A and B are shown apart, each in its own frame.
Chain A
Amino acid sequence: MAGVKAFFNVTNKYFHLSTHTKSSNIIYRYISSTSSVPRDVDIVISGGGMVGAAMACALAHNEIFEKKKIILLEAAPERGKYILPENYTNRTCALSPATVRLLESFGAWDEIKEMRYQPVKRMQVWDACSDALITFNNEDLNDDLAYIVENDVILAAIMNRLNAAGDNVEIHYSTSATSYKFPGEIDDEGNKESWLTVNVSNGQSLRTDLLIGADGFRSSVREKSNFHTMNFDYKQMAVVATLHLSESVENTVAWQRFLKTGPIALLPLSANLSSLVWSTTPENARNLLIIPEDSFVDAVNDAFWNDNDKDPLTGRILESFSSILQNLLPVGAVSKQLPPTVIGVEEKSRAAFPLSLTHSSNYVKPRIALIGDAAHRIHPLAGQGVNLGFGDVSCLNEILTKAVGLGSDPGSLKHLLEYETKRQRHVIPVMATIDGLQRLYTTNFSPLVLLRSLGLHTTNSLHFIKNRIIRQASV
Chain B
Amino acid sequence: MNTIKYSNRLIKFLCNRSDFHGLCRKTAHLFHEEQVHWRKKSFSLSRHFRTTSQRLDLNDKPKVERPRAQTTIDEEEIKRFSALAQLWWDEEGEFTALHTMNELRVPLIVNALIEQKQKTGAESHQFKAHSQLEGFKILDVGSGGGILSEPLARLGAFVIGIDASEENIKIAQAHVIRNEEVACNIKYICATVEDLIESEERSFDCVIASEVVEHVLDAPMFIKACCKLVKPGGSMFLTTINRTNLSYLLGVVAAERLLRIVEPGTHNWNKFISPQDLQYLLDHNGFSTRLVHGMMYNPVTKRWSWTENTSINYALHAVCTDQALHVDGQT
Contacts and interface: CB of A to CB of B under 8 A. Distances in A.
Contacts of B258: 472
Given A8-B158, A406-B107, A412-B91, A18 B21 contact: yes
B212 interface: no
B11 interface: yes
Interface string A383-424: 000000000000000000000111111001110000000000
A366 B91 contact: yes
Nearest to A67: B130
A290 interface: no
A19 B152 contact: no
A297 to B, nearest CB: 56
A7 B22 CA distance: 22
B178 A40 contact: yes
A3 B3 contact: yes
Nearest to A463: B92
A468 B14 CA distance: 46
Interface string B148-170: 00111111001010000000001
| Number of chain B interface residues as a range | 35 or more
A408 B183 CA distance: 14
A40 B11 contact: no
Contact of B173 (A23, A412, A475): A23
Contact of A407 (B150, B158, B173, B183): B150
Contact of A194 (B89, B133, B137, B152): B89
A313 interface: no
A63 B14 CA distance: 38
A382 B57 CA distance: 76
Nearest to A405: B129
B311 interface: no
B228 interface: no
B177 A19 contact: yes
A21 B155 CA distance: 28
A414 B14 contact: no
Nearest to A8: B158
A248 interface: no
Contacts, number: 115
A23 B177 contact: yes
B83 interface: no
B106 interface: yes
Contact of A7 (B7, B178, B179, B300): B7
A245 B3 CA distance: 84
Interface in B297-317: 300, 302
Nearest to A408: B151
A14 B155 contact: no
A14 B10 CA distance: 11
Interface stretch (B97-105, B235-243, B274-282): B97-105
B85 to A, nearest CB: 13
Contact of B187 (A3, A6, A11, A195): A11
A207 B150 CA distance: 19
Contacts of A67: 130-131, 181
Contacts of B100: 414
A318 to B, nearest CB: 40
A432 B215 CA distance: 51
A283 to B, nearest CB: 50
Interface in B9-41: 10-11, 14, 17-18, 21-23
A65 B181 CA distance: 14
Nearest to A192: B86
Contacts of A207: 178
A15 B187 contact: yes
Given A471-B260, A472-B258, A63 B128 contact: yes
A66 B177 contact: no
Nearest to A14: B14
Given A412-B91, A464-B302, A21 B21 contact: yes
A64 interface: yes
A197 to B, nearest CB: 11
Interface in A8-61: 8, 10-15, 17-19, 21-23, 26-27, 40
B117 interface: no
A2 B160 CA distance: 19
A465 B300 contact: yes
Given A10-B11, A14-B187, A464-B300, A22 B179 contact: no
Contacts of A21: 21-22
Nearest to A471: B260
A4 interface: yes
Contacts of A22: 21, 170, 173-174
Contacts of A11: 14, 160, 187
A65 B137 contact: no
A406 B151 contact: yes
B257 to A, nearest CB: 8
Contact of A14 (B17, B22, B102, B259): B17
Contact of A408 (B102, B178, B180, B184): B102
A63 B130 CA distance: 8
Contacts of A475: 260
B99 A414 contact: yes
A54 to B, nearest CB: 21
B91 A3 contact: no
A18 B100 CA distance: 30
Nearest to B92: A413
Interface in A355-397: 366
B129 A63 contact: yes
B66 interface: no
Contacts of B178: 40, 194-195, 207
B283 to A, nearest CB: 29
A357 B175 CA distance: 41
Given A3-B7, A6-B10, A23 B174 contact: yes
B3 A2 contact: yes
B45 to A, nearest CB: 24
Contacts of B187: 11, 14-15
A65 B154 CA distance: 12
Contact of A19 (B6, B155, B173, B259): B173
Contacts of B160: 11
Nearest to B109: A407
7 contacts: A3-B3, A4-B137, A194-B175, A405-B130, A407-B152, A464-B302, A468-B259
Leading 10 A-B pairs by shortest Cβ distance:
A407-B151, A3-B3, A6-B7, A407-B154, A407-B155, A64-B129, A3-B6, A18-B21, A14-B14, A406-B106
Given A15-B187, A63-B129, A406-B106, 15 more contacts: A2-B7, A6-B10, A7-B7, A10-B7, A10-B11, A10-B14, A11-B14, A18-B173, A21-B21, A22-B170, A195-B178, A404-B129, A406-B151, A408-B154, A468-B260
